[in-house]
Structure 1
């Protein structure tokens, strides 16, 4: 029997004990956003520190201005080294009356089709996912006395409250966090039985604009037809942001946007993600993005522009016939590839100013921007991880992009110079952030086995 087979067998044999450990951790109410649970956050951090120390990691709590970070290391000289990230804090449980059982009393229940599920706050986001990796390490150590590669775990306690203190910690501890690649287990599979690797995250530019005209709101009966209406001006600018083909009309907007490789697009085309399956459940029927792109491209690998809010004038009940003095909008851009947030922001502001008529002024309120993250498609770590997942699940893993942004991944790249592999075993129906959060027992079991295989693959 190979070392890999021994480690897999060890994980299977210890499943009940693994669940006992997970349940002990899930019982600790570590809600980071509520000061009333500050003690629970520290208790959860200390529990993990002690558990990691019990299997030979040099584990400690690192203090921050908020909740502590669990830092644990087990090096292996001469071998590759990975940095694993996760979080021990959880979302608030409100509304409590929607929970079928108390949120911090974990249990095994019967899910759809009779499959077994773990129900508790944090079961999927992110304690259950973190423990798949911890149990993989435990199985390797129990079976062989060692890990196949060096491992550092960094588990924070403020992800659900904005990771405010994490960037500073990364800067302070960057020498201690040196690794070859970062691993994150806080994402989903493509579907039940079909693993996925998230290889890209879109960046973000967020702008707020205020267009002003007259020095006060005006009576539309007296001034209508003569006075400039900033709401009309704003509406025209917003309408001009896209052309008839759904492309963003800012000059230079697509600079740095690379095409997805043909083999990846071919894989995506087999996934059955169409207007009916994706838009139907939310009451829509027709894609509104670039007309020459598949839906999966529109939401993962292409840049976007969206109006997140528009307002001005009278917004109360009933009628009030005024011409507003101000019009407001919040507009966000999701970025991909090598798009430059600063260049996009500059192009947007120039675009607005060019369309600003006489008697109008504009104020721009800028918010922090972030670049997109793209793991090279020819990455050796990506190829090894893909092979390990296929061996465990018997299905070719989907290499996908995320339409959203995960700031810590950008911090890893900017501060630590690390690419990140995002491999998660959650499912879309896990009800994260909602009552009755769950994690499939099979996701937990095969998640641990998957990490066992990935650690072996990365050692090659």
Structure 2
């Protein structure tokens, strides 16, 4: 196996220019799932991936859902375990477009001041670049040996960035077809540029949109100020009660069921991130602003949170207008850890808002997804071989880490298929995912391909 593995790795190296070309072709498709005007682009991305998988010998298809389609592919081997790889082809909206240095869907290679080369485009890191590392690893195996070293199924969805409401029903409806021994998910980060990692803890998510309306229309603030209820003021007062002066969320029962990571794990994290300035410095910050008594990395990886993601109302254009708005809106999110019930937290939030609503104010809620936090078992049969493969590739001991993000598919795969997941990602904290000028390092892409080549070999050997 060693000689074959080295040949496959050499093929991945030699094919890097073509691998980049294929990634750029996928990045040019503006598959923004949250915006209806891009529905046809989402389908184009799905068809592109189906054709690419078919070119590698996968029995692939575009599978319909009530929303954007899924891409499903299978390639069987007579021996070895069966893995299910998951990724998503949809991307976040590009707003604010004015902050991009170039067209978000015209990918380009940029050399940074330190000489590092990065791919700049929407979806470069989240998740097109990441999912293509796996597909390119499969391509390298097929080019050298004519086969994959184990049984591989692929599931690529198109609604991860917009709630993913059709994923769980799809998994359940196709459970027999999609069942495998373990799922592989490439939608996570490395803790730094040199340390490979497998994410074993994820936060869940509750997303909520709140609209408060008062008057029937916008009013002149000189004629109605003080006398008329101001929905922006009402909304701000309510949201300001959700955290206390120590950063703790004040909703009843919010922290029920939570267990912090063991001291040994927290010590390992402190070794990776010895101070908050190192964690927050890349984004221009220095001090942790959340719960007292927890470091920044602990707040991100193991503690729940409440955040205001957007707020608007009244006059927001250039210049000044003395208006008293009729309507105010906020988009908020809770990141949840294992033990918390997302539906109970949504109910507690809505109850708080309703209790504080004054006369002449009306409230409307719109849900935007709800998922539980998830912990991957540390004693699973595939974790150690995968960590060993990553250690071989990077020359640094691979570590198990947490993640501040939410990847609902992990819990949904467990619920629908009964299997655990390995979350192996190569993104960096400065990839600017969900922000203007998203990027993905060429080294992340290249070493990601090589890493998956090794992981597939390690899992095949057991």
TM-score w.r.t. the length of structure 1 is 0.79
Partner of 1:205: helix, strand, or coil? strand
- Give the whole-Å Cα distance in 1 for the aligned partners of 2:12 and 2:284: 45
297-306 vs 448-457, which moves further: 448-457
Q: Which residue of 1 aligns with 2:17?
A: 19
Distance 1:318 1:203, change over 3 A: same
Equivalence map 1:51-62=2 (5 Å)? 51-53=55-57, 57-62=58-63
Alpha-carbon distance, 1:378 to partner: 3.5
Alpha-carbon distance, 1:83 to partner: 0.4
- Give the whole-Å Cα distance in 2 for the aligned partners of 1:68 and 1:410: 21
Q: Which residue of 1 aligns with 2:74?
A: 73
Q: 2:53 pairs with 49, 52, 55, which one? A: 49
TM-score w.r.t. the length of structure 2 is 0.79
Partner of 2:175: helix, strand, or coil? coil
User: What is the CA deviation profile of residues 196-248 of structure 1, one whole-angstrom value per residue up to 9, with x for unaligned ones?
Assistant: 22223322223445667899979899995x99877666555434322332211
- Give the whole-Å Cα distance in 1 for the aligned partners of 2:89 and 2:346: 35
Aligned length: 449
Distance 1:25 1:209, change over 3 A: closer
Equivalence map 1:275-286=2 (5 Å)? 275-280=276-281, 282=283, 284-286=285-287
Partner of 2:177: helix, strand, or coil? coil
Does the CA-based 8 Å contact 1:8-1:139 persist in structure 2? no
User: What is the CA deviation profile of residues 133-166 of structure 1, one whole-angstrom value per residue up to 9, with x for unaligned ones?
Assistant: 2343344455566544321112345656665754
User: What is the CA deviation profile of residues 338-371 of structure 1, one whole-angstrom value per residue up to 9, with x for unaligned ones?
Assistant: 20112212333444455567x4766351414222
Does the CA-based 8 Å contact 2:46-2:70 persist in structure 1? no
Distance 1:362 1:265, change over 3 A: farther
Q: 2:106 pairs with 103, 107, 122, which one? A: 103
Distance 1:5 1:92, change over 3 A: farther
- Give the whole-Å Cα distance in 2 for the aligned partners of 1:195 and 1:267: 14
User: What is the CA deviation profile of residues 146-202 of structure 1, one whole-angstrom value per residue up to 9, with x for unaligned ones?
Assistant: 544321112345656665754554333221100122112233322222222222332
- Give the whole-Å Cα distance in 2 for the aligned partners of 1:243 and 1:38: 42
For structure 1, list consecutive stretches of 5 or more residues without a partner in the other structure. none
Alpha-carbon distance, 1:425 to partner: 1.9
Equivalence map 1:18-417=2 (5 Å)? 18-24=16-22, 26-27=24-25, 29-33=28-32, 34=38, 37=41, 40-41=44-45, 44-53=48-57, 57-63=58-64, 69-76=70-77, 79-88=80-89, 98-99=101-102, 103=106, 112-115=113-116, 124-141=125-142, 146-156=147-157, 166-209=167-210, 235-272=236-273, 274-280=275-281, 282=283, 284-309=285-310, 317-319=320-322, 329-352=330-353, 355=356, 359=359, 363=363, 365-367=365-367, 368-417=369-418
- Give the whole-Å Cα distance in 2 for the aligned partners of 1:241 and 1:396: 41
Distance 1:71 1:331, change over 3 A: closer
For structure 2, list consecutive stretches of 5 or more residues without a partner in the other structure. 33-37
Does the CA-based 8 Å contact 1:49-1:70 persist in structure 2? no
- Give the whole-Å Cα distance in 2 for the aligned partners of 1:207 and 1:88: 24
- Give the whole-Å Cα distance in 2 for the aligned partners of 1:182 and 1:42: 20
Q: Which residue of 1 aligns with 2:8?
A: 10
Does the CA-based 8 Å contact 1:103-1:436 persist in structure 2? no
- Give the whole-Å Cα distance in 2 for the aligned partners of 1:144 and 1:46: 22
- Give the whole-Å Cα distance in 1 for the aligned partners of 2:271 and 2:245: 28
180-189 vs 40-49, which moves further: 40-49
